[in-house]
Amino acid sequence: MSIDINLTDERPSFVTHLDCSISGETYPADQVHGLSGAGRPLLVRYDLDGIRAAVSREEMTARPAGLWRWRELLPVRHVADVVSLGEVETPLVPIPVSGGPHVLVKDEGRLPTGSFKARGLVMAVAMAKALGIKRIAMPTNGNAGAALAAYASRVGIETIVFCPEDTPEVNVREIAMQGARVWRVNGLIDECGAIVAEGAKQGRWFDFSTLKEPYRIEGKKTMGLELALQLGWRMPDAIFYPTGGGTGLIGMWKSFDELEKLGWIGSKRPRMYAVQAAGCAPIVKAFEDGVEHAERWEGAHTVAAGIRVPKAVGDFLILRAVRESGGRALAVEDADTLAAVADCARQDGLLLCPEGGATLAAYRRARAEGLVSADEEVVLFNCATGLKYPMPEAPNWLDRTQPIEWDRL
């Protein structure tokens, strides 16, 4: 059976160009690009008037659910270049007991490879295929490397992945199983990234580090597009997003702007809360210091490996979105993150990953500090299935050949 990716015909592409996120300098589409000349991420731009004329909001709503329903707002020009493992529309799951009556979790763990990294990497790999890139390298804390390996293997692109030596074993094996050469490195993700950058400089591979190519943002922005559609083309009051490299937060903010220009949503924006761990909180410090760029966080540590990013190349884009939205950057302690994971599983039956638990812990903190009220609609992002992460032991054992202590059961 084939995967329905909602692409039964060739549609015109509406990509016009790319521009530098800090200088505005424009770059031609349909060419291989890394960072801009200013060393900053490039953003894909579209003919939004053309999209408005080509597809209505009602037509978009009527299409089969899935990431590729948004094809006019995505950069892949030709159906032949699309790659897919069945990218579903992820559900909004209420957590009324552990969260509150108006708290929804967008559960990204339902995507291929079990995390929201699938959104960004499916788009980036499709564009790499379209542009003729044959070998890719990436630093990862786990889930991004798994998504890259899966999609790249599907289209015959060679991949080399570098991860910190304490990356969860399940992630390392998953990356290797899906066809990448994976190397553990005695350093953090940005130090793995330095190896990738040097190899790219030597011409050994293309650098797929976060935001160092333009298309992962376009895949991640589908979270915002989906969210708007799922809520009836309106915005929640607040979004809590686990923030390492911040691609998804940046992408969602971009998607809201595009949707408003299309006339599909109004001007209301959710307050964006960038959630980090207290042991690695460079965006939080930069937010509190009132600066636009974050300094590298030394000695980074947290149980939520996905947000252990000491230095993000898109720091200024994260901070701009948070500030423009009236939101905050919040840091949470690991103990509160783990408590949130346990509470959500036991009280609402939803198993969060540690990064998702951090968003629930941050929401609780925001409620306690009066940043969010109980009657506001809030969306938390659970970025991966909790099944990939260690769980507490369950040591109870019953000997069926001995008298059973029924009251103890």
- Render 25-52 in DSSP notation, one character per residue: -EE-SSS---S-TTSS-EEEEE-HHHHH
pLDDT of residue 2: 44
- Mention the CATH class of domain 92-114+217-387: alpha beta
Phi, psi of 106 (to 5 degrees): -85, 110
Read off the tokens for 214. Answer: 């333009």
Tell me what pLDDT residue 332 has: 98
**Cβ(10)–Cβ(47) below 8 Å:** no
Identical topology for domains 92-114+217-387 and 117-207: yes
The upper half-sphere exposure of residue 123, i.e. CA atoms within 13 Å in the direction of its Cβ, equals 26
pLDDT lower than 70: segments of the chain: 1-12
- Phi, psi of 366, rounded to the nearest 5 degrees: -60, -40
Smallest CA-to-CA distance from 126 within 222, 228, 257 is with: 222
* Cβ density class 332-371: b for 16+ within 10 Å, e for less: bebebbbbbbbbbbeebebbbbbbbbbbbbbbbbbbeeeb
Which pLDDT belongs to residue 12?
66
Cα gap 234→72, rounded to integer Å: 20
- Nearest to residue 84, comparing CAs of 50, 132, 45, 123? 123
Asked whether the beta carbons of 135 and 203 are under 8 A apart, the reply is no
Q: Where are the alpha helices (DSSP H) in 67-215?
A: 117-130, 143-155, 169-177, 189-201
* Residue position matching structure tokens 């009324």: 96
Rounded to 5 degrees, φ, ψ at 207 are -80, 115
Phi and psi torsions of 365, nearest 5°: -65, -45
Q: How far apart are the first and last CA of the chain?
A: 46
Amino acid making up residue 205:
W
User: What pTM value is reported for the model?
Assistant: 0.94
pLDDT tens readout for residues 312-324: 999 999 999 999 9
Phi, psi of 194 (to 5 degrees): -65, -35
Burial of 158 (0-12, 13-18, 19+ CB in 10 A): middle
Question: What are the boundaries of each domain within the chain?
Answer: 15-71, 92-114+217-387, 117-207
Q: Which residues touch 369 (CB under 8 Å, ≥6 apart)?
A: none
- At 303, give phi and psi (nearest 5°): -70, -20
Tokens for 144, please give them.
Answer: 């991004």
Q: 117-207 in CATH: which number?
A: 3.40.50.1100
- The residues near 371 (Cβ < 8 Å, ≥ 6 apart) are 273, 328
Q: In what order do the strands lie in the sheet with 42-46?
A: 26-27, 15-20, 42-46
Alpha carbon 48 to its chain's center = 24
Round to whole Å and give the CA distance between 75 and 43.
Answer: 11
Instruction: Write down the pLDDT at residue 13.
Output: 82
Q: Which phi and psi angles does 384 have, rounded to 5°?
A: -160, 160
